[in-house]
Amino acid sequence: MRLFVGLGNPGAKYQGNRHNIGFMVLDEIARRHGFAPWRRRFQGETSEGTLEGERVVLLKPATYMNESGRSVGEAAQFFKIGLPDIVVFHDEIELPPAKVRVKIGGGIAGHNGLRSISAHVGNDYRRVRLGVGHPGVKDRVHAHVLGDFAKSERPWVEALCDIVADQAGLLAAAKDSTFANKVHLAMQAKGFGDKDNGEKG
């Protein structure tokens, strides 16, 4: 059994924020793979389904980003899910827009959602880092992640959500490197991304 967590802030005003790309990805996974309707529990919303024969629970914490760990901790405890089976999808300013990297554990790079999760369940969960780019100046990071994706960014955001949802079964099967590589190649085929290796980081 796997717990897929998408990070974001609840409510309509945050819906299109860069910080909410984790929510966007989970919505697409649920839609594409015919998961059960979302329901409120564990201080968030969950939807259940199957990917590659694995039971998967999708979780969107409704605690606001800084308290995401409360929701994740409750769900992980209820289902008795260990860190290797927790996959967190989150925005990553240290990656260029449309880039995806997968890693286990490591630093949190100032991401308050990851900080909260690590405080509640430990650090060695799997992370799908979804690049949203850096505004270039540290003082502008807050406004950048809490700002909506620009209209010009929508094509790659939609392509990325589609492709990650397409390949999500590989994450359920714990084939993280294959997932990263296939997402990279598929994004490249759609004209997004450059020639670097999708398996780095």
Pick the catalytic residue: 19, 90, 111, 184?
19
Torsion, Cα 96 99 104 109, to 10 degrees, reads 20
- Assess whether 19 carries a catalytic annotation: yes
Residue 174: how many CB atoms within 10 A of its CB?
15
Catalytic residue numbers? 19
